[in-house]
Every structure is written in structure tokens, then in C-alpha cells.
Structure 1
Amino acid sequence: MDLFRSPQIVLFTRDINRASDFYRALGFEEAFRTPETGTPIHVDLVLDGYRIGLATESSTREDHGLEPVASGQRAAVILWTDDVPVAYARLVELGANAIKPPERWLENLLIAWVEDPDGHLVQVVQSLK
């Protein structure tokens, strides 16, 4: 038995429908939501075996007694791609805030940065090897 398994990140949001629409537009598929009807308080999305959870800031406060922060650069979602300039343009087209346009990094990578609609950083990365 492994003590830990199936790692996942959960991002806090003030507008779960907008956040889940944004990540679905990137190719993530919904794997879980609660409640099943109406506006959800939690949605899990999966892309290529990687799971992202979206939880409402209000539900996290009310249901768990925590103090989540739902804005600012608190985490980064990293998405690998074969074409950073096209991926960067698509993210901006979908409503992401452009932070840093494509640039070479470590001589063998091309990277770009945006913020999703809640201010979470999203980095797109391409191997140049």
C-alpha cells in the first residue's frame, strides 16, 4: 500500500462556472462536480491524466472553515505544447491575461506566461530539442 497517490491541485475561484469553462476550452474534461445540478461548489477536470480541482472560495470558507485566497499569483498550471506561440495566443483569446510572451529559457525551452480568469499563473512550455 502506498501512503500517498493520485496527486491533484485545487485552485480557489470566485466564479466556478467561468473557471471551469476556461479550463474545458483548453481541453480539460470534467470528471466530477458537486452538486450535480445547479451551480457547483467543486469541479474536477482532467487533461492527459492530470487532475485540477476548482473550488469556490465561499464553499471552502463555509464548509471547511479555511481562509482561501482566490486572486493573485499563488500557483502555476504548467501545460506542455508543441507550439508555444499558438498556445499563448489561444489562451489570450480565451480570456487569459497576457503576462510574458514566448521567450527562450535554459536554451532548450520556449515558455510563455498568462493568468487565468482568477489570476492563477498558466505557463505553456515547448521543448526545443
Structure 2
Amino acid sequence: MDLFRTPQVVLFTRDIDRAVAFYGALGFDEAFRTPTAGTPIHVDLVLDGYRLGLATETSTRDDHGLDPVTDGQRAAVILWTDDVPAGYERLIELGATPVKSPEPWLDRLLIAWVEDPDGHLVQVVQATS
């Protein structure tokens, strides 16, 4: 029996409604929300079997006594695609900040970088060979 299962990443946010809308527009579906009415303090989203959690900065401090970092490039969400230029442009249309436009990497990938509305890095990547 394995001790651990179902890994997930949780990103801290100052504006959970904005973050949920951003990732929802990328195709993530909501799988969990608490509380169920009003502004949530935590929302889980799923895309292609991968679960991404969003938690409010204040709830993480108040409920768990932690000191979450909500500024800077502290995590990256990686999104695979068959069209990096189109994915990069779509992210920017949805409010992401451009970081690096599409460029080849390792002679077999095409990648681009943006920051989501909370400053988390998002990398769009496709195999080229």
C-alpha cells in the first residue's frame, strides 16, 4: 500500500474570484468550493485529471496560522498544448502578463511564459519533435 496519493498544488491568492475565473477560462472545471455560498476561501479546479487548488491568503493565515507568500514567481503551472503561440496569446487575452514569448528549448520543445493575475508563472509548452 502506498502512503500517499492524488498529489495537488495549491496556489495562494489575494483575489480568489479572479483566480477561479482565470483558470476556469483556461478549461479548468470546479471540483470543490468552501464555503459553497458567497466568496469562497478555497476552490479546487481540475483539468485533464490534474487538480489545482486556490486558497485565499487571509484564510491560510487566519485558519492555519501560516504565512503564505503571494508576491513573486514562487510556483509555475505547466500547460501542455499543440499550439504554443495560440496558447500564449489566449493567456494574455485572459489577463496574464507576458514574461517570455514562444521560443525553442532543448531542441525538442517550444515554450512560452506568462504570469497569472496573482503573479504565478504559467508555462505553455509543446513537443516539436
Q: Given the two structures, how large is their TM-score scaled by the length of structure 2?
A: 0.99
User: Aligned equivalents of 1:108 and 1:79: distance in 2?
Assistant: 16
Q: What does residue 110 of structure 2 align with?
A: 110
1:17 aligns with 2:14: no
SS at match of 1:44: strand
What 5-or-longer segments of structure 2 have no aligned partner? Answer: none
SS at match of 2:79: strand
Q: What does residue 72 of structure 2 align with?
A: 72
Percent identity reads 78
| Runs of 4 or more above 6 Å deviation | none
Aligned-pair distance for 1:124? 0.3
SS at match of 1:87: helix
User: Aligned equivalents of 2:3 and 2:26: distance in 1?
Assistant: 32
- 1:1-129 to 2 correspondence within 5 Å? 1-129=1-129
**1:40-59 deviation line (CA, Å, top 9, x unaligned):** 00000000000000000000
User: Aligned equivalents of 1:25 and 1:71: distance in 2?
Assistant: 23
User: Aligned equivalents of 1:34 and 1:119: distance in 2?
Assistant: 23
CA RMSD of aligned residues (A): 0.4
**1:12-69 deviation line (CA, Å, top 9, x unaligned):** 0000000000000000000000000000000000000000000000000000000001
Q: Given the two structures, how large is their TM-score scaled by the length of structure 1?
A: 0.99
Letter in 1 for 2:122: V
What 5-or-longer segments of structure 1 have no aligned partner? Answer: none
**1:48-106 deviation line (CA, Å, top 9, x unaligned):** 00000000000000000000011210000000000000000000000000000000000
